């Protein structure tokens, strides 16, 4: 069964890749991911905050050489990140030496400023591609959606000016006009989009009266939001698409490919069940396609997107009305 896919200009034997996560900080895990059949790996992000923090420490050290130790140990955020910027580049070089599959580095931040210089350093360190993650919670009532989108598009242009690497933008679903924004990124020379960032919502710890952050892994229910937007965007934009969020089973993979994913990133499933899931899901995908009469993955690709599905209105407002009306009328047991 031919599972070949094209993603960000690479021809991959199949679409399953290890998404951005701390797993990639462990060289042994990256090797195992390749051995067990991952088609590519995405590195943990290098965060803008890490880079600016590192620079501030450097400046403090230069200004107060005699109190070097204090400058280092009393700067906020120390120890919050696994790898500092230099270690990140070193880890990238090590991964590139260790595996043959494409290695996609990840930059994560919100401002169009000097930290994006790391795109060049990442390119020089040997990455095959770059993910630009603009994870942001828009809290400022004085900042418009247009201004936020412009900043992300400008960040992308800055990255593209610094490197020839293919760049995918990892997006949030919470934009007022996602299709328009995606087109704006296409015009700013994005090579691909990753749909979507997962937003980790804060909770309230009632015993401690604190805001609690808990990292919940995804479930297959998370793919529904992705299916809709893959279907809408893949039909209208000339970009590579990867899905991130909620892919756990063979059926999930088939659905995201049918709506438009060229690449399928897995994190929660691998954290829960281990790297051998790459091999299982790949053979499961072959089996599913064979038993449903497909000759290749390409035949299934985008077959259910906005351009190709039998009733495109299901992705739009009509589906909302139909869904509300589909709830069964109250039966005798409902009272
Ligand atoms: C422990 C952990 C660390 C993560 N670190 C990053 C990161 O550094 N950069 C990033 O873009 N996404 C990061 N993610 C998000 C994942 O790449 C992915 O988008 C998300 O987990 C949804 O995919 P999943 O449903 O397969 O888990 C992380 C996720 C987890 C669970």
The ranges assigned to domains in the chain are 5-202+214-334
**Rounded to whole angstroms, how far apart are CA atoms 76 and 301?**
47
Name the pTM for this structure: 0.91
**Rounded to whole angstroms, how far apart are CA atoms 25 and 86?**
13
Q: For 137, what's the count of Cα atoms within 13 Å in the CB-facing half-sphere?
A: 6
CA of 335 from ligand 1 middle (Å) equals 43
Nearest CA to ligand 1 atom 3: 21
What class has domain 5-202+214-334?
alpha beta
CA of 18 from ligand 1 middle (Å) equals 10
The residues lining ligand 1, judged by C-beta closer than 6 Å to any ligand atom, are: 19-22, 44-45, 106, 108, 133, 170, 197-198, 215, 217-218, 222, 244-247, 266-269
**Rounded to whole angstroms, how far apart are CA atoms 88 and 105?**
9
Ligand 1 site-directed mutation target among 48, 106, 132, 244, most atoms within 8 Å of CB: 244
| Per-residue pLDDT tens digits of the chain, which is 335 residues long | 999 999 999 999 999 999 999 999 999 999 999 999 999 999 999 999 989 887 666 565 555 454 444 333 334 444 455 678 999 999 999 999 999 999 999 999 999 999 999 999 999 999 999 999 998 888 999 999 999 999 999 999 999 999 999 999 999 999 999 999 999 999 999 999 999 998 888 899 999 999 998 889 999 999 999 999 999 999 999 999 999 999 999 999 999 999 999 999 999 999 999 999 999 999 999 999 999 999 999 999 999 999 998 888 888 877 777 788 888 776 765 55
What pLDDT does 109 receive?
95
Nearest CA to ligand 1 atom 10: 20
Q: Atom of ligand 1 at shortest distance to CA of 44?
A: 8
What pLDDT does 322 receive?
78
Mean pLDDT of the chain: 90
Residues 103-134: tens digit of each pLDDT:
999 999 999 999 999 999 999 999 999 999 99
Nearest CA to ligand 1 atom 24: 245
**Rounded to whole angstroms, how far apart are CA atoms 306 and 21?**
31
Helices (H), the chain: 27-35, 48-63, 68-73, 85-98, 118-124, 145-162, 178-187, 223-234, 250-259, 268-273, 277-291, 297-300, 317-325
CA of 333 from ligand 1 middle (Å) equals 42
What pLDDT does 215 receive?
87
DSSP-assigned beta bridge partners for residue 265: 17, 244
Residues 53-101: tens digit of each pLDDT:
876 665 655 554 544 443 333 344 444 556 789 999 999 999 999 999 9
What pLDDT does 320 receive?
76
**Rounded to whole angstroms, how far apart are CA atoms 28 and 80?**
23
CA of 100 from ligand 1 middle (Å) equals 23
CA of 295 from ligand 1 middle (Å) equals 32
**Rounded to whole angstroms, how far apart are CA atoms 241 and 38?**
17
Nearest CA to ligand 1 atom 25: 245
In our burial notation (b when 16+ CB lie closer than 10 A, e otherwise), range 166-180 reads: bbbbbbbeebeebee
């Amino acid at each position: 069964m031919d599972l070949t896919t094209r993603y960000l200009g690479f021809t991959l034997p199949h679409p399953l890749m290890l998404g951005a996560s701390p797993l990639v900080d462990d060289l042994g895990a990256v090797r195992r991911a390749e051995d067990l059949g991952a088609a590519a790996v995405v590195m943990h992000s290098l965060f803008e905050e890490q880079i600016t923090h590192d620079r501030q420490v450097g400046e403090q050290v230069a200004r107060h050489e005699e109190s070097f130790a204090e400058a280092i140990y009393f700067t906020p955020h120390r120890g919050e990140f696994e790898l500092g910027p230099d270690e990140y580049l070193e880890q990238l070089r090590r991964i590139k030496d260790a595996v043959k599959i494409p290695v996609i580095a990840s930059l994560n931040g919100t401002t169009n400023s000097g930290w994006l210089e790391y795109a060049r350093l990442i390119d020089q360190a040997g990455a095959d591609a770059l993910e630009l993650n603009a994870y942001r919670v828009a809290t400022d009532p004085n900042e418009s959606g247009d201004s936020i989108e412009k900043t992300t598009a400008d960040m992308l242009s800055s990255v593209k000016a610094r490197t020839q690497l293919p760049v995918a933008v990892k997006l949030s679903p919470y934009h007022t006009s996602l299709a328009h924004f995606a087109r704006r990124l296409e015009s700013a020379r994005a090579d691909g989009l990753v749909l979507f960032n997962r937003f980790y919502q804060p909770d309230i710890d009632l015993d401690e009266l604190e805001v609690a952050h808990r990292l919940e892994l995804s479930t297959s229910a998370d793919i529904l939001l992705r299916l809709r937007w893959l279907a809408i965007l893949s039909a209208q934009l000339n970009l590579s698409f990867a899905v991130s969020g909620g892919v756990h089973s063979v059926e999930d993979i088939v659905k995201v490919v049918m709506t438009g994913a060229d690449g399928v990133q897995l994190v929660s499933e691998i954290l829960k069940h281990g790297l051998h899931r790459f091999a299982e899901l790949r053979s499961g995908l072959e089996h599913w396609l064979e038993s449903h009469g497909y000759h290749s993955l390409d035949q299934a690709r985008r077959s259910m997107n906005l351009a190709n599905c039998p009733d495109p209105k299901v992705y739009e407002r009509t589906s909302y009305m139909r869904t509300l009306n589909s709830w069964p009328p109250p039966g005798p047991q409902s009272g």
